[in-house]
Amino acid sequence: MKSIASAPGKIILFGEHFVVYGIKAILCSIDKRITATSQFLDEKIIRVRSSLGDSVMDLNSLNNLENVPQKFMKPFFYIAQKAIEENSTKQGIEIVLESEIPTGVGLGSSSAACVAATASVNGLFVRLTKDEIVKKAIEAERTIFEQNSGADSSVSTFGGLMLYDLKNGFQNISSRNDLNFIIANSAQVHDTQDVVRQVRNFKEKNEDIFRKLCEQEVEIVNNATIALKKNDLNQLGSLMLKNYELLKQIGISTEKIDLLVREAKKTSYGAKITGAGGGGCIISLVDNSNMKNTLDSLRKLSDCFLAKIDYKGLLYS
Ligand code: MEV
C-alpha cells in the first residue's frame, strides 16, 4: 500500500522576518508542489529518497536523530519516528519526495516537504486532520530550524492567501484574489536559519531602528489587506516596493536581488524579495498587460517562472 500526499510551496507577499517577532505577514501558496509517497518496508529501516540524495537509518537508531547523515533529512526521520511510536509498529518505512519547487531559495520547499511527508507517512495508519498535520509538520521542521514561525507550513497545509501571526496562527483572506506573479531566482542559495540569525543580530544591535521598521511593516500589512479587498494592483505593487526597502534595511538583500527588483520595477506593478532573502527569489506582481514584457526582461538576468495562488493546500491522491 502506498500513501501519497502533496503540498504547495509559498511566497510571502508582505512581512517576512518581521513575522518572527510577532508582526502579521501576508502569504500565499503557489501552484508548485512537493509530493511525498510512503510505503512500508520489510527491512527494519527508514529510507528517505529525494532529488537531493538518499538517506537510511535503522529503526533502532531513530531515538538518536543527531546521527542523521544529512541534516536537512532530520525532519523526515523525525516524522517517521513519531508515526512509528504513536502507532506502536515495528515496520520500516520508505518516503520518496518529488519536487517542482526549487530548493533553498525562499519558496517554502522545506515546509512543503514536511507537510507532504507528515500527511503521507501518517496516512499509512490514519488520515490526520489538517490541524493535526500542520502541528506535526512545524514540530518536525523545528528539529533543524528552531525559530521557524510556522507561517510556511500553515499556508502550505491550508492553501490560499492568508494573514499569519505567531499568536493567532492563520486567518484566511476572503477576497480570493487571482494574482499573477513572476518569480525570478537569483540562484544564490541561502540557509533560512542563518539569515534569520543574521536578522536577530541586527535587531539586537539596533533595537530602536528595528522597532520603527516593525511599525512601518504593520502599516504596510494593514494597507495591503485593504488593497487586496479592492484588488488594487497599483497599490499592492507600491506596498511591495516599500516592504522591499525595509528588507534592504535589515540587511537581507544582495546585489543580484537589487538588480532583479530594479529591472522588474520598470514594467511590473512592484517587486520584492520573498522569504528569507540573502539571495533566493524575488516576486514581481503582474497581469496580462505587463506579464510578457516583465518576463522577457527578467529572463535575460535569471531563471524565472509564472506562479498563481494555489487555493487547494495539502492534497491526498
Ligand atoms: C521564511 O520563508 C520566512 C521567515 O520569515 C522565517 C519564518 O517566518 O519562519 C524569514
Question: 119-176, pLDDT tens digit by residue?
Answer: 999 999 999 999 999 999 999 999 998 888 899 999 999 999 999 999 998 899 988 9
How far, in Å, is the centroid of ligand 1 from the Cα of 283?
Answer: 15
Res. 68 pLDDT band, cuts 50 70 90: confident
Write the DSSP string, 174-230.
TT----EEEEEE------HHHHHHHHHHHHHH-HHHHHHHHHHHHHHHHHHHHHHHH
251, exposed or middle or buried, with CB in 10 Å at 0-12, 13-18, 19+? middle
DSSP 261: H
Distance from C-alpha of 52 to C-alpha of 153, rounded to nearest angstrom: 20
The set of cell numbers assigned to 119 is: 500527511
Which domains are assigned to the chain? Answer: 2-176 (3.30.230.10), 180-308 (3.30.70.890)
Say what the pLDDT of residue 200 is. Answer: 97
Query: Which of 29, 107, 114, 196, when mutated, tests ligand 1's pocket best, judged by the most ligand atoms within 8 Å of its CB?
Result: 196
- Contacts of residue 146, defined as CB under 8 A and 6 or more positions apart, other chains included, come to 193
Query: Which of 146, 152, 166, when mutated, tests ligand 1's pocket best, judged by the most ligand atoms within 8 Å of its CB?
Result: 152
Q: 37 vs 3, 73, 95, 142, 292, CA distance in Å?
A: 6, 15, 6, 22, 36
* Contact by Cβ (8 Å): 44, 306: no
Distance from C-alpha of 267 to C-alpha of 262, rounded to nearest angstrom: 10
Global pTM? 0.92
Check if 157 has its Cβ closer than 6 Å to any atom of ligand 1.
no
What sign results for the dihedral spanned by CA atoms 281, 18, 217, 30? Answer: positive
